[in-house]
A = this chain, B = another copy of it.
Amino acid sequence: MAMASILAGLKPVIRELAAGETLFASGDATRGFFLVRRGQIRLARFSASGRETLLFVAGPGERFAEASLFVETYHCDARAVAESSVACFPKSAALALLEGDAIARLELTADLARQVMELRSALTLRDVRSARERVLGYLVARTGVDGRTIAIGGPLKDIAAMIGLAPEVLYRTLAQLESERIIRRGNGIIELT
């Protein structure tokens, strides 16, 4: 991951969380940003009326609350869905690194810019109503340099969640595309024809 060399310059504090435990709450003073090592952290916001808005569910390898580096208090609640382990990168050290190290600075900015691009792509993909077209759009966007093959890392149901489809619908759609010879599947690989 691009952030590795940045993170290497910081001393994260490892924090273990039980299922349901709160990492931080809305209004708390920001301590820094986090990286999920194990488990899942759920970021949500509660409105005045008590209604909950789910913002993000961070899984292993994912960072969250990066934007907290630039604000004084957290604007959402972070709670562990399951028993989890997170690395906490303190705000002061991260900002100091951002001030002093030109490489780290460019890297963080570039990484954020890349995230913006990816998120925009993901968001636009959701505008595609048809499951068939959405799946095809996802596959096309994820083709490697040859423009034909897609490596499947992890279970299909995760992909389904990522593109906003029920797992069954993704299974069905892939099966249909395969029967129409539009894709070929095998061994963690999908190939467009």
Contact = CB atoms under 8 A, between A and B. Distances in A.
B48 A114 contact: no
Contacts of A152: none
A55 B49 CA distance: 35
A11 interface: no
Contacts of A112: 109, 112-113, 115-116
A148 B70 CA distance: 26
Interface in A92-134: 98-99, 102, 105-106, 108-110, 112-117, 119-128
Nearest to A121: B55
Interface stretch (A16-24, A139-147, A169-177): A139-147
Contact of A55 (B48, B55, B124, B126): B124
Contacts of A124: 53-56
A88 interface: no
A119 B119 contact: yes
A183 to B, nearest CB: 11
**7 tightest A-B CB contacts, nearest first:** A48-B147, A119-B119, A67-B113, A112-B112, A70-B110, A47-B140, A126-B126
Interface of A: 45, 47-49, 51, 53-56, 66-67, 69-70, 75, 98-99, 102, 105-106, 108-110, 112-117, 119-128, 136-137, 140-141, 143, 147-148, 164, 192
9 contacts: A45-B140, A45-B141, A53-B124, A53-B140, A56-B120, A67-B114, A98-B109, A105-B105, A119-B119
